[in-house]
Structure 1
Amino acid sequence: MADYAIGDLQGCFSEFSTLLQRVDFNPSKDHLYLVGDIVARGPDSLACLDYIYQHQNSMTITLGNHDLHMIACYYLNKPTNPKDKLAPIFNSNKLQHYISYLQTQPIALYLKQHDSFIAHAGLNPNWSIEQALKHAQFAQECYQSNNAKTFFERMYQPHPAMWSNELDCFEKFRYIVNYFTRMRFLTQNNKLELIAKGAINKNNELTPWFCHPNIRTSTHDIIFGHWAALEGSTGFKHVHALDTGCVWGNTMSLMELTNKKVITEKSHLLSK
């Protein structure tokens, strides 16, 4: 038995299946944790989603921003961006089953056996793991509820400046989702900055979330994706960036969770 985590697939099924073959992944005894963004931009999001759906007993996804956006497009009857190449999914007769399955998946999780926290964009430095899981459960209940459509409608409104118990449920949902699925940089006063998305800022105006003292001194492993520009490097042994930009022509990364060993597969896109 082995547990693995893998970075953003973003529709790159060829590299995904190659990595599983390289570690001799056995769905009957192994388990794979996907850090989110399994769909969008790559050539075969449908194949990625269908494989995961068929092997869902051995797969767990922490939903990413692209995954949630796809679910929102379904609920809101909103056209998808052609660049996301999601038409095959929306034309599939299994679409409703895929959406329902994705809604069963968490937005963050903690694996006690590996002392590892996993979320698509990372861990809000102001939250303990216990607090983060409580917030994640709240968000999950929102996107699984009978009122899911309204939560997805409100998901795109401006990010609340501060957390407060006075926020309504839609604002809390949006605040939580943005940290778990869109976070990269924090401002000088530790507010979430949602525009910058490139390499680590060098001018001290913005700070990567994992450079916050609460993260730097954490005793837990933190595993995330979302930030391909990091090229898998955070500078901290316990903070693992698994989105290494396969869809942009770089690599896909898979980690064995017991020893934290990472193997990579070069993008097949340029060789076709």
Structure 2
Amino acid sequence: MDNSRDSYRIQKMPSDIWVIGDVHGCYQTLTKLLDKIEKTHQDPECVFIGDLVGKGPDSEEVLKLVSQRNGRFTSILGNHDLHLMACFHGVSKTRAGDRTDSLLGSKAAPSLINWLQQCDFVLQASHGETQFNLVHAGIHPTWSETELSQRLAKLNKAVKSEDWSWYKNPQSDIWNTANILTRMRCLKIESMELCNDFTGPPDEADQSMAPWFEMEPAANSHCRVVFGHWAALGRHSTNRAECLDSGCVYGGELTALHLSTGKTISVKNAESP
């Protein structure tokens, strides 16, 4: 990676927030979850862990709801959000399972894509002595805070631009950063490289790989990482990492975590077949 001195100031969030797992276009389920949250927290502040769109039946309504909530809602970018933006910019094509063609063809698409392009890849919060990193898939265990900041500076600039030639370009450092932050599950134990082809639960991984949050050394081990993305892992909670992807779009649940108290609220998938 180019050792540029450019760095990015990661936005700090208050600890009194709800972090919500992968929505994937499940609008009806999301509204039910928000109703439950609002019974205990009036006008809650929510951070979505990424993948607002894709696979589910109503990505457009999900984006409209989250983007129009008067600054109380924000989202981290996930791999499906990136794919949607890449399709909009003409460097990728929709897949049969995306269910986003109507969104991309709607009059609202330019404004919704513009809103997504202003979202972050990593947010931070702290409560007491615990610092949290909020990210869609994970943060590479070898990255220091400085390296993460430098990588984010380049990536955020690229996402906000009209030039998306970096997307899925294996020679691009920018894509390498995006790939790790939005798609990482397991790493090769010897080389610490991504195992992109593996999407199953950790107990099905072969002995040459391990979940990223179990790898050493961990340059950022002082932070607890809250993430989604890994539906086959499901709800997972340790001192080092917390996964909120409870497989809503696959018929599971949509989960929210109240960061300062550790309380969770879940609702079952409520989408029509």
Corresponding residue number in structure 1 for 2:31: 17
2:256–2:264 Cα contact (<8 Å) kept: yes
Instruction: State whether residues 21 and 245 of structure 2, in contact with CA within 8 Å, keep that contact through their aligned partners in structure 1.
Output: yes
Give the equivalent residue in structure 2 for 1:125. 141
Matches within 5 A, 1:1-272: 2-24=16-38, 29-55=43-69, 57-76=71-90, 78-113=92-127, 115-145=131-161, 148-149=162-163, 152-158=164-170, 171-189=172-190, 190-200=192-202, 201-215=204-218, 218-233=221-236, 236-269=238-271, 272=273
Q: Quick check: 1:76–1:153 contact (8 Å CA) kept in 2?
A: no
> For the residues of structure 2 that align with 1:265 and 1:88, how far apart are their CA atoms?
27
CA distance in 1, matches of 2:34, 2:224: 23
TM-score normalised by L of structure 1: 0.86
Structure 2 gaps, min length 5? 1-13
* CA RMSD across the alignment: 2.3
- Name whichever structure is richer in helix by fraction: 1
> What are the superposed Cα offsets for residues 229-260 of structure 1, whole Å, 9 maximum, x if unpaired?
011125x2331101111000111110001112
* 8 Å Cα contact 1:182/1:194 also seen in 2: yes
Identity among equivalent pairs (%): 28
Q: 1:28 to 1:77 in 2, by over 3 A?
A: farther
Contact 1:4 1:255 survives alignment (8 Å): yes
- Partner SS state of residue 88, structure 1: helix
Q: 1:240 to 1:216 in 2, by over 3 A?
A: farther
1:74-124 deviations in whole A, cap 9, x for unaligned? 111754113111122112211110111111111112124562101110111
Total equivalences in the alignment: 255
* Cα gap change, 1:63 to 1:27, in 2 (>3 Å): farther
Identify if the C-alpha distance between structure 1 residues 217 and 116 changes in structure 2 by more than 3 Å, giving closer, same or farther. Answer: closer
Superposed displacement of residue 29, structure 1: 4.7
Q: Secondary structure at the match of 2:38?
A: coil
Comparing 80-89 and 5-14, the one that deviates more: 80-89
Output one character per residue of 1:185-211: Cα deviation in whole Å (capped at 9) or x when no partner: 101221122111111045321110011
Deviation string for 1:135-178 (max 9, x for gaps)?
22320011113xx32xx2332122x5xxxxxxxxxx11011101
Instruction: Tell me which amino acid in the other structure corresponds to 2:198.
Output: A
Unpaired runs of at least 5, structure 1:
161-170
One-letter amino acid of the structure 2 residue matched with residue 251 of structure 1: E
